[in-house]
Amino acid sequence: MAFGRRRQAEEPAKEPELTDEQADETAEAEAGASESTAPGDGGPWDSEESYPELQRLDFGCMQVPVAPGLGFQVNFEATEVDEEGNPLDGRPVAVLVQYEESAMQLQAFAAPKRSGIWEDVRRETAKDIEEEAQGQTQDGEGPFGPELIAMVPAALTEEVLAEMPDEVKEQIPAEFIEQGWAPQLIRFIGVDGPRWFLQAVVQGAAIEDEEQWQVLEDVFRNIVVVRGESPMPPRDLLPLEIPKEFSEAGEEEEEGAVETFNPFERGPEITEVR
């Protein structure tokens, strides 16, 4: 895959000024469009829509489907630290779906009623990657519309290499280990829904392995987003909750940072969402 610096967008042509009546009609049309089903063939779904009945984990703002082979984590962000910087308290900020050698991070955000934010988020993400991470980006098109593909340098420190499985380490070219970093591909997917925005960040084998990607694509397509009625500033994270199945499965929280759950270790605990 060839990568190059993203070119500045061309200056849009100047639109003719609208009368008050035309402006009202345009606003109504935009409102109607924003309240329709999210882009794509089917989901992701809004909780107010009719959506397929599947086994799903309830994370509050997201209901995420389960399937054989999937693992789930809830990532936390520290909200309080001690004098040494160790986390004392935190809030859940993302759901991580794991499948074989692939991972997909999910986050849901508040969005304006009459306009989406994916175009702006995509542009800002590309700028940050290029300027701060010294990476490269490329616009793409996927099953859910416009995407962003990024190539970033991933550190290969002694600590990172020590934690890698031997079979993974053996596949890393020697020159990457010598230079201390390797290129890593990341795929950013976004969908604008009615007053919400859902983002997925895909890493690992699913970037190029069609079989693994298909599993993650099916998960993303069948997510149900629960926006709620509370007013929220655009781009604020929608509140995440820990599913009851996590505690029922008896998995312990690791240092207040991650909750883990394998839904198929104790299958009878999963019930259908109706």
pLDDT tens sequence across 246-258 = 766 554 544 444 4
- Which residues is 45 bridged to in the sheet? 224
CB 136 within 8 A of CB 3: yes
Tell me the mean pLDDT in the region 135-143.
Answer: 95
H-run or E-run covering 218: helix 210-221
The H-or-E segment that residue 43 falls in is none
CA dihedral of residues 147, 124, 183, 94 (deg, nearest 10):
-80
pLDDT of 148 strictly over 60: yes
Statement: residue 225 has pLDDT above 90: yes
Q: DSSP state, 7?
A: P
- Beta sheet of 102-110, edge-to-edge order: 136-142, 145-155, 181-193, 196-204, 102-110, 87-99, 70-81, 258-261
pLDDT of residue 99: 95
Position 250 in a domain:
yes
Within-domain flag for 240: yes
Proportion of the chain above pLDDT 70, given as a percent: 73
Indicate if the pLDDT at residue 162 is higher than 50: yes
182, 190 contact by CB (below 8 A): no
Mean pLDDT of 156-169: 74
Half-sphere exposure of 186 (CA within 13 A, CB side): 22
Buried residues in 185-208 as b, exposed as e (16+ CB within 10 A):
bbbbbbbbbbbbbbbbbbbbebbe
Is residue 100 included in any domain, yes or no? Answer: yes
Give dist(CA 63, CA 55) in Å, integer: 9
The strand order across the sheet containing 45-46 reads 45-46, 224-225, 62-65, 56-58
Residue 133 domain-assigned (yes or no): yes
Number of folded domains that form the chain: 1
Q: Which amino acid is at 21?
A: E
Amino acid at 3: F
Q: What is the pTM of this model?
A: 0.73
Q: Which domain holds residue 117?
A: 44-264
**Residue 58 lies inside a defined structural domain of this protein:** yes
> Do the Cβ atoms of 101 and 94 come closer than 8 Å?
no
Here the tokens at position 102 are: 């692939």
Q: What percent of the chain has pLDDT over 90?
A: 51
CA dist 100 to 65, 165, 194, 204, Å?
A: 17, 13, 33, 9
